[in-house]
Structure 1
Amino acid sequence: MASEGNALNLEKFYQQAKNKAPENKKFLQRVKKLDPRKVDDVFHDTHDAVFEEIDCLTCANCCKTTSPIFYQTDIERVAKALRMKPGDFIEKYLRVDEDRDYVLQSSPCPFLDNENYCSVYEDRPKACREYPHTDRKKMVQIMDLTYKNTQVCPAVLEMVERLKKIL
């Protein structure tokens, strides 16, 4: 993957993701039709292998460019960690998007520090805990999301490249 020294080269990643986008979209559409158990097994093995090599702290592109959905339990948990009332937390940090979900008002995430650490990591939203969703069950159901994540997460792009050789 596009890394230089310890930090990931995001410009190079964006170019690779853009160049591979049509091919990846087609590939992931075909994966939807495969045996779900086999897809899960291969995805999970590949997920584990890639995350042994890629350290999210060298990138944090997800935190810099996208927002998780904040469910009520997430709002309450993060607000408590920040010693705020949930309503004040919503007012200060969140907005309602076109899908009527609570998301961050801005990016990068206000809880991301300059070394890519999350100041609310122990209390982070469920969507952050599960990102990039490549170790879930029934992966065939989220191939559209996986495709979108190839544009955000270098690890997902790497997984898809490896999966093309396996599936």
Structure 2
Amino acid sequence: MPTRLQHLPQRAKDEKKANKKYFRKLRQKKPRELDATVAALHEEVFADTDCLACANCCKSASPIFRDRDVERLASHLRMRPAEFVHEYLRMDEEGDYVLKAKPCPFLGPDNYCSVYEHRPKACRAYPHTDHKGFHQILDLTLRNTAICPAAFEVVRRLREALPV
């Protein structure tokens, strides 16, 4: 996995133009079978993916923390929500709460999440390759191909499975 992960940013960069063109066509056509195809590819790719061997999402990206996420995590950590925000979060350019630091402070050296049962909704759904209404998150998916080897693979297979 380290070699695969090591080369992922360059592979994603090499494929970005083709993926953007493909996604532009998908956005225009909105194939009826898109969600079902992506969901099947998601299942197929994740059957062979060990996220604990990678954890690149936790090392290099931050989820968006919604109020419910802040409340849930603060409660779990026995903090007030305001303390949790002050300790761990900052407001990004778009007005969303994100982590102050990378890697995620809840990621252990073994790539296990110390707050896994209480993690933010965005972490639970990452990399969103099984999202209903997939055509609505194409830009996000394109960004995720540079972070998540599974997202990269889902998109690669999608281009083969659903040529547009």
TM-score class, shorter: over 0.9
Q: CA deviation at 1:8?
A: 5.8
The alignment's TM-score, normalised by the length of structure 1, stands at: 0.92
Aligned ranges for residues 38-49 of structure 1 at < 5 Å?
38-49=33-44
Structure 1: segments with no counterpart, 5+ residues: none
Q: For 1:93-108, what aligned pairs fall within 5 Å after superposition?
A: 93-108=88-103
Of 83, 108, 126, the match for 1:88: 83
Summarize deviations over 1:51-105 as a string: whole Å, max 9, x none. Answer: 0011111111111111111111100100111111111111100011111111100
1:55 corresponds to: 50
Aligned counterpart, 1:29: 24
User: SS in structure 1 opposite 2:98?
Assistant: strand
Q: Deviations over 1:97-144 (max 9, x none)?
A: 111111100111000011111000000001111111111111111111
- TM-superposed CA distance for 1:47, in Å, is 0.3
Between stretches 8-17 and 96-105, larger displacement belongs to 8-17
Aligned to 1:135: 130
Secondary structure of 1:33's partner? helix
The 2-side partners of 1:37 and 1:80 are apart by 42
State the 1:35 CA deviation.
3.6
Matches within 5 A, 1:56-71: 56-71=51-66
For residues 24 and 9 of structure 2, the distance between their equivalents in structure 1, rounded to whole angstroms, comes to 21
Q: Is the 8 A contact 1:81 1:123 kept in 2?
A: yes
Deviation at 1:163, TM superposition (A): 1.0
Q: CA RMSD in A?
A: 1.2
Contact 1:36 1:139 in 2 (8 A): no
- Give the counterpart letter for 1:133 in structure 2: H
The aligned amino acid for 2:57 is C
Q: What does residue 115 of structure 1 align with?
A: 110
Q: What is the rounded CA distance, in whole Å, between the counterparts of 1:60 and 1:45 in structure 2?
A: 22
- Work out which of the residue numbers 154, 158, 161 in structure 2 matches 1:166: 161
**Number of aligned positions between the proteins:** 162
What TM-score results when the alignment is normalised by the length of structure 2? 0.94
Counterparts of 2:28 and 2:3, CA distance in 1: 33
